Structure 1
Amino acid sequence: MNLTGFICFWLFLALVASISFLKARKIRLNTTAAYFMGNRTLGFWMVGFSLFLTNLSCNQFVGENEFVYVNDMTVMAWGMSSILAMLVVAEFFLPIYLKMGAVTTPDYLGHRFGPRLKKLVSLIFLISYLVTLIPTILYGSAVALNGIFHIDEALGIPYFPAIWLLVVMVGVIGCCYTVIGGFKAITVSDLVQGAGLLAGGIALIWYSLRYLGGGDAVHGIQTILGSKKEHLNAIGSAQDPIPFSTLFTGMFLINLYYWGMEQYIMQQALAAKSLSQGQKGMSLAAVGKLISPLLLNVPGLIAVHLYPNITNTATVFPRLVGDVLPPVMTGFIAAIIFGAAISTFNAGLNSSGTLFIMNLYKPWRKEAKDRELVKAARIFQISICAVAMCFSPFIFYFDGGFYHYIQKISSFFSVPVFTVMIVGFLTKRVSEKAALIGLVFFIVTYTLSQFAIEVPMHYLHVVAILFVVTIVLILGISRWMPRHEPYSTPHLAVVDLKPWRHRHYFFFLLIVLMAGAFLLFSKAGIAD
């Protein structure tokens, strides 16, 4: 074990935790607004860093670099194309949520369609977080940390018990942030971790290029650009795992859902002190997506040249970190990766509590006061954390395609929910019955297309086709069973709704830079 790096790892975590709890101690966590939303006091720096860090997890550090090593840069499409989705959300979705004073994204469904759909979607979110989000974060964190510090070898125990030990460690630390510090402590830690991530990403690339170039970073760059250039291509063909055409079909829909309707993501923006601060924060997160390949993709490119015959490709990223960095920096990078995982874990745990208390428990216990709701939230969060820690290590026994599988099955519920919400945004007469039928239709037909009927088409294209078909179905049913009164968004805002004055100039610049990134990693750029 790298003892120096391990000590530095804990020192950095202790520093972040100290800053977070000191900054958050001024907020009394005896109300749901304080516990779940930090009293809606977030400025754009906290919103932006929280969104960016919440989006990152060890699964991405490990999985995306492995994808680049095995295939090419086409996996970059998920992050880059999300920039456009984030700008659409900032311009159109966020103002609607803030105008109605939403605490959860299903709140909109409750206002627009009715309580049944709101409860159903809340349950879907909770099941998704418990089955996929929280366990995979715990497992991915454990795999990455063991790959960097070799805990199994240091303690002289088998790999599986070491993973279980690390899963418990990650779960306990993350749960403490959420249950003791509340939403404010989470966002403060994201701000500190985000600054560290930027510095650490630049340092990792610098040391990696020097290592590849025999002490000369420029020579390392020349090595990457001079051979194995097929790995530099981000424009996928129809035969690639991620064809470029999917950017304009299912991938865009999933990104719109993720950044505009996924509760654990959107809650960061809903806690902004104003619409302007929320829009600035989302734009700042989009800047983070532009530079995220420094940690998520470029290390995989470097590993292609350093480890041409590696057998366990899942170890590409942790092996690179352990080989090229000095001990102190190894601990720093490990802490940053761990912090990104904790950020996503905390957001998932906090959002789970928000959904359960505000959309399920509170309607059942109408007379419950804030103290009871906060106490119930803490008990619920500790419970689901314990459950996730128990079965998370068994992900070890899934096939090697587990992470791709998780990404694929997310479409079972994400795009159906997105479809219903888009119909709600764009129409005034669609009824709750029509929306429920459309939601069930999408889920059932997509399930059949992936497991019962062989469809000779990429699953993201299937998602896009079903999106259109379901909208037509919902609109058709609504002509037969329309809403009695046209819907209008209630004005229940608790923050200033004045938009960011210069947002359109910044949005345009971000789109140009996004297109430039694709051009750079193409045959018209450095991949030729």
Structure 2
Amino acid sequence: MNIDLTMVIVYFVIIFLVGIYKSGKQKKDAESYFLSGRSLRWPAIAMSTIATNIQAGHFIGMGGAAYVYGLAWANFEIDAVFGILLATFFFVPLYLKMKVFTITQFFEIKFGSFVALSYSIFSLILFGIIYMGGALYWGSYAINGIFADELTLLDTFRKLVENLFEISLNPVTFRLYIIVVFMGVFSSLYVYFGGLAAVVRTDIIQLITLLGGASIVLVLAVKAIGGFSELYNPANYPDITTGRDHLMHLFLPSDHSKVPWPAVFFGMALLHIQYWGANQVILQRALAARSLKDAQIGLIVGGFLKYVFAALIIIPPIALVGFYKPLEDPDQAYIVLVNTLLSPGVRGFVIMGLFASLMSTVDSIINSVSTLFTFDIYKKLINKDASDENLMKMGKKSIPFITLSGIMFAFALIYIKYHGFNLPLSLITNEISYHIKAGYTILVLAAVFCTNAPRKLVVFVFIGSAVVSLAFKYFVFPDMNWLNRTGWVIVIGYAILAIVSYLSPGKKVKWKDLFIVDSRQVGYFGIVLAVSLVVLNVLFR
């Protein structure tokens, strides 16, 4: 057993022990299990939130896209700051004021039980299946690519299964299936015992590990291409297809098929509102904040961390284009970097970081989806008088089913990847989820800014947005960029609700009453974050 694999195994053991630490002494009530007793301070909120957000799919999937499209793919990270700022000063203060466990409960207060139930069901599908399956897929893809030689034991097991059932199995996909099952089950175990407190404890360790490992790859990749200035040298990109002279441009031509610059400020920006403002998986730490100040500072610090990870994820694959032979599969970019640039031991540390990104995402999804199911389905529809003990038991019982759902979707992604699909797979998973996310964005904007919108109309627009999105894709605007298409769905849906809300009787909402800042210090931090977003867009345009 080599040193890299040994380091990874030891890391798994440490994470598991940290996860279950003090689980037996934890208070036996729902608030402690699902929201860590609403006691989180801003450093924990910042680190755990970003650890949840950054997954192996960012390094493998986004890295593959960056290898092809360059810095433009960093917009998915950098422009997240727009959504973070709205969540910090408009959405999260309302959630904390209402002391909700889930975002669904907020929507129920605003729009009634049907909208809330619809949101919850869509969320269970989006997070428990698509997000979790995607995270497990990318993790297995990375593990198999890096540890191909060390996984010969799985080939022995495969042959045993083939002989036992008299079937023929693909060696690569079989290894991926086994890895997916292992990672899903492993991550679910410490969530089962420790709840959100376990997730936050492990996330902090995993973020630090991830930052360290990814920083090493960034430094070595830039050194390999000849320094930072060489990233801007057109001679390093002879086969560039973006329409620009090098890959270090944030903005691509307006007619680019994947990330045209208008889409960055339109569809992409609007979708960040949903991800950071109405996402149970991301906002569960903010909901568990000790105070509004902790929640707001935690999210703002998280915004600055997004800049850091934009560099860590996107720049190394760009550098790879300049110093390595062309890759047939762009998704191999980060794996090639790890296997090419790193020596034993250092390689193990970086691999630990990749595992950290996977586990921190999967454990958070499991915890949040369990919370959604327990409060929005079980307590609301099955056992309205459930005690805290009943809620905790049901939350734990739901974990195996959530894990299984994510595993099955990961299996589907593996099948797609290894049956003739050659483009970066993140494009497909994004498009699938955005049919749902458009409705989420409309819903959260309407809940905050359209207080007089009729509930039946909200239901119609929310459900109808997915139908309109599909119609736009397959019938009306099949050639339109997917971000722009989703942006138009959001604009049309929200415009309908905003106009009707304005014309309806009742007290009109005032923006100044919705913009909530805990203190002047928090306001200054927010201004700095907002200005930095503008500066980065100008500098790297």
TM-score by length of 1: 0.90
Which residue number corresponds to residue 135 of structure 1?
133
219, 223, 228: which one pairs with 1:221?
228
2:434 aligned with 1:434: no
User: Which of 357, 379, 382 does residue 397 from structure 2 map onto?
Assistant: 379
Deviations 1:457-501 (Å, cap 9, x if unpaired)? 322222222223223433566689x69x7699xxxxxxxx98143
Matches within 5 A, 1:281-360: 281-360=298-377
**Aligned pair partner of 1:173 in 179, 186, 208:** 186
TM-superposed deviation, 1:3: 1.6
Distance 2:502 2:78 in 1: 39
Question: Structure 1 pair 487/145, CA: closer, same or farther in 2 (3 Å)?
Answer: farther
Matched with 1:21 is 20
User: What is the CA distance between 1:279 and its match in structure 2?
Assistant: 0.5
Aligned residues: 505
Q: Is the 8 A contact 2:173 2:415 kept in 1?
A: no
1:285-329 deviations in whole A, cap 9, x for unaligned? 111101102331011012112323222221110121122112112
- Flag the 1:17–1:84 CA change in 2: closer, same or farther, 3 A: same
Superposed counterparts of 1:11-410, under 5 Å? 11-22=10-21, 26-28=25-27, 30-150=28-148, 154-155=152-153, 157=155, 158-210=171-223, 212=224, 219-226=226-233, 227=235, 228=237, 230-240=246-256, 241-364=258-381, 365-398=383-416, 399-401=421-423, 402-410=425-433
Tell me the distance in 1 between the aligned counterparts of 2:482 and 2:407: 31
For residue 236 of structure 1, give the secondary structure of its aligned residue in structure 2: coil
Aligned 1:462-473 pairs, distance under 5 A: 462-473=485-496
Preserved CA contact (<8 Å) 1:12 1:332: no
**Residue 164 of structure 2: aligned partner:** none
Q: How far apart, in 2, do the equivalents of 1:334 and 1:170 lie?
A: 14
TM-aligned CA distance change 1:207 to 1:72, over 3 Å: closer
State the shift of 1:151 in Å: 5.4
Q: Tell me the amino acid that sits aligned with residue 234 of structure 1.
A: L
Inter-CA distance 80–86: structure 2 relative to 1 (3 Å threshold): same
Structure 1 residues 222, 421: closer, same or farther in 2, change over 3 A?
closer
Q: Distance in 1 between matches of 2:358 and 2:446?
A: 34
Contact 1:178 1:186 in 2 (8 A): yes
Cα 1:119–1:344, aligned 2, differ >3 Å: closer, same or farther? Answer: same
In 2, the alpha carbon distance for the partners of 1:308 and 1:126 equals: 42
- For 1:111 and 1:12, the matched residues in 2 are separated by 43
Query: Please, which moves more after superposition, 153-162 or 251-260?
Result: 153-162
Question: Contact between 2:366 and 2:399, CA under 8 Å: does it hold in 1?
Answer: yes
Aligned mates of 1:206, 1:467 — CA distance in 2: 40
Structure 1 residue 406, shift from structure 2 partner: 1.3
Q: Does the CA contact (< 8 Å) of 1:37 and 1:183 recur in 2?
A: yes
Measured at CA, do residues 81 and 476 of structure 1 come closer, stay the same or move farther in structure 2, by a change above 3 Å? closer
Between the aligned partners of 1:321 and 1:237, the Cα distance in structure 2 is: 32
Could you say what secondary structure the match of 1:502 adopts? helix
> Is contact 1:44-1:272 (8 Å) kept?
yes
Please, what TM-score do these two structures have when normalized by structure 2? 0.88
Higher mean displacement: 236-245 or 37-46: 236-245
Contact 2:320 2:333 (C-alpha < 8 Å) held by counterparts: yes
Q: 1:519 to 1:428 in 2, by over 3 A?
A: closer
Distance 1:358-1:486 versus aligned 2 partners, 3 A rule = farther
Report if aligned partners of 2:93, 2:292 keep a CA contact under 8 Å in 1.
yes
Q: 1:12 deviation in Å?
A: 2.5
Going from structure 1 to structure 2, the CA distance change for 1:196 and 1:428 (only over 3 Å counts) comes to same
By how many angstroms is 1:13 displaced? 3.0
Shift of 1:431: 2.1
| CA deviation profile, 1:351-388 (whole Å, cap 9, x unmatched) | 11111110111023012211111111111111121233
The letter for the 2-side match of 1:367 is D
Tell me by how many angstroms 1:16 deviates: 3.3
Kindly indicate whether the alpha-carbon contact (under 8 Å) linking 2:450 and 2:501 is maintained by their aligned counterparts in 1.
no
Give unmatched runs, 5+ long, in structure 2.
156-170, 238-244, 510-515
Code of the aligned partner of 2:253: S
Q: Give the 3 Å change call, closer, same or farther, for CA 428–129 of structure 1 in structure 2.
A: closer
Aligned to 1:425: 448
Q: 1:491 matched to which residue of 2?
A: none
Relative to structure 1, the CA distance from residue 316 to residue 361 in structure 2 (aligned partners, 3 Å threshold; closer, same or farther) is same
Residues of 1 paired with 2:109 and 2:81: CA distance?
Answer: 28
- Farther-moved stretch of structure 1 (123-132 vs 394-403): 394-403
8 Å CA contact 2:446–2:494 kept in 1: the answer is: yes
1:275 touches 1:500 (CA, 8 Å); kept in 2?
A: no
Name which of 428, 438, 442 aligns with 1:415.
438
CA pair 197-153 structure 1, distance change in 2 beyond 3 A: closer
* Structure 1: gaps spanning 5 or more residues: 214-218, 489-496, 523-528
CA contact (8 A) 2:107 2:116 kept: yes
Structure 1 residues 151 and 359: alpha-carbon distance in aligned structure 2, compared to 1, 3 A threshold:
farther
8 Å contact from structure 1 (residues 51, 285) kept in 2: yes
How big is the shift at 1:100?
A: 0.6
- Asked if 1 retains the 8 angstrom alpha-carbon contact of 2:281 and 2:365, the reply is yes
3-state SS of the aligned residue for 1:327?
Answer: coil
Q: What SS does the aligned partner of 2:79 have?
A: helix
SS of residue in 2 equivalent to 1:231:
coil
Q: Is the 8 A contact 1:23 1:188 kept in 2?
A: no
Identity %: 22
In structure 1, what residue type is equivalent to 2:43? W
CA distance in 2: counterparts of 1:208 and 1:479, whole angstroms: 54
Find out whether 1:507 has 2:514 as its counterpart. no
Q: After TM superposition, give the deviation of residue 516 of structure 1 in Å.
A: 3.3
Q: Distance in 2 between matches of 1:162 and 1:333?
A: 21
Give the Cα separation in 2 of the matches to 1:90 and 1:479.
25
Residues 330, 147 of structure 1: CA spacing in aligned structure 2 closer, same or farther, 3 A cutoff? same
In structure 1, what is the equivalent of residue 483 of structure 2?
460
Counterpart of 2:4 in structure 1 is 5
Q: Is the 8 A contact 1:151 1:162 kept in 2?
A: no
Match of 2:2, as an amino acid?
L
Aligned partners of 2:438 and 2:466 also within 8 Å: no
Is the 8 Å Cα contact of residues 208 and 324 (structure 1) preserved in structure 2?
A: yes
